[in-house]
Amino acid sequence: MRVVFLDRDGVINKNAKDFYVLEWKDFEFMPGIIEAIKLLNERKIPVYIVSNQSAVGRGLMTMDELKHINDQMLKEITKKGAHIDDIFICPHSPEDNCDCRKPKTGLFKQAEDKYDIDFKDSWFIGDSETDIEAGKKMGCRTHLLKKGEDIIKVIRKII
């Protein structure tokens, strides 16, 4: 199955001023992202979020607080007629040296354990080199989203 993986911070939402989105009030969708997700939904291409969320591992927020933010994000996306199929999160700090923190591939392997994914036909869109490195390690096609780049145009090119 072909899927599109999206990073969260910097792709779905703007990065917070203080680097971490710690509360829902600090969450701001990137321009065009919901419309881009709708395009994928219309083509029946599953959309999975793979995201490092080290604020949890650093003790800046709890998993429940992160879940609340993600639940609100999903609610808002659904209200606008789109949907995310699943979310895979690494809550660890870089010092934990876990297998799920990008650029390692643990989050993708969690997705692979749950779904039948054709990684060679799938895409990962991220905003950092570690995102791109992780996607390439799994055999995905990748796109490094540049600041101000039109995500709708990117999605139209890959579908």
- For tokens 């998993």, name the residue: 63
Cα separation, 4 vs 155, whole angstroms: 9
Residue of 9, 64, 99, 113 marked active site: 9
**Count of CB atoms within 10 A of residue 4's CB?**
24
Three-state secondary-structure class, residue 33 = helix
**Count of CB atoms within 10 A of residue 154's CB?**
18
- For tokens 């065009």, name the residue: 32
Residue 7 appears among annotated catalytic residues: yes
- And the tokens for 142? 């990748």
Residue of 7, 99, 121, 131 marked active site: 7
Cα separation, 45 vs 49, whole angstroms: 13
Residue 150 appears among annotated catalytic residues: no
Catalytic positions, written as ranges: 7, 9
